[in-house]
Amino acid sequence: MSIEVQYRDRAKELLAKGEVKLVIGYGGGSTPNRRRPVFASSPEEVDRLVLDSLCIANLSGYLVTEGLLSDEKKVAVFLRPEGIRSINILAAENQLNADQVVILGFETAGSDIRPLEGGNVLDFSEFIVTLSENRVVSDSDPVIDKLENMSAQERFSFWQDEFSKCIKCYACRQACPMCYCRRCIVDCNQPQWINTSAHTLGNFEWNIIRAFHLAGRCVECGNCDRACPVNIPLRLVNRRMAVEALNSFDHFAGLSVTQEPVLASFKKDDTETFIL
Ligand code: SF4
Ligand code: SF4
* Ligand with smallest separation from the Cα of 223: 1
Q: Which among 77, 100, 134 is the end of a domain?
A: 134
248-272 burial code (b ≥16 CB/10 A, e <16): eeebbbbbbbebeebeeeeeeeeee
What's this model's pTM, rounded to 2 decimal places? 0.92
Is the CB of residue 102 below 6 angstroms from any atom belonging to ligand 2?
A: no
Shared domain check, 103 and 7: yes
Say which range, 40-44, 79-83, 107-111, 150-154, has the weakest mean pLDDT: 107-111
- Return the residue whose CA atom lies nearest to atom 1 of ligand 1: 218
Confidence category of residue 139, pLDDT binned at 50, 70, 90: low
Is the CB of residue 203 below 6 angstroms from any atom belonging to ligand 1?
A: no
Indicate the average pLDDT of the chain: 92
Residue 44 has pLDDT above 70, yes or no: yes
Residue 132's pLDDT is 92
Q: What is the extent of the structural domain holding 185? A: 142-249
Q: Which among 114, 134, 154 is the end of a domain?
A: 134
Shared domain check, 20 and 118: yes
- 105 in any annotated domain: yes
Say which range, 21-30, 50-59, 236-245, has the weakest mean pLDDT: 236-245
Shared domain check, 21 and 122: yes
Crossing angle of helices 200-213 and 234-249, in 10° steps, is 40
Confidence category of residue 276, pLDDT binned at 50, 70, 90: low
Is the CB of residue 232 below 6 angstroms from any atom belonging to ligand 2?
A: yes
Question: Distances in Å between the alpha carbon of 252 and those of 36, 55, 88, 215?
Answer: 28, 24, 11, 11
Shared domain check, 127 and 25: yes
Shared domain check, 103 and 29: yes
- Return the residue whose CA atom lies nearest to atom 1 of ligand 2: 228
Indicate the length of the chain as a whole number.
276
Is the CB of residue 121 below 6 angstroms from any atom belonging to ligand 1?
A: no
- 272 in any annotated domain: no
Determine what percent of the chain is predicted with pLDDT higher than 90.
Answer: 74
Residue 275 has pLDDT above 90, yes or no: no
* Ligand with smallest separation from the Cα of 198: 2
Shared domain check, 175 and 154: yes
Shared domain check, 105 and 25: yes
Is the CB of residue 129 below 6 angstroms from any atom belonging to ligand 2?
A: no
- 149 in any annotated domain: yes
Distance, in Å, from the CA atom of 239 to the CA atom of 28, rounded to the nearest integer, reads 29
Residue 143's pLDDT is 85
Shared domain check, 164 and 90: no
Distance, in Å, from the CA atom of 161 to the CA atom of 168, rounded to the nearest integer, reads 15
Total domain count, the chain: 2
Residue 17's pLDDT is 98
- 190 in any annotated domain: yes
- Return the residue whose CA atom lies nearest to atom 8 of ligand 2: 166
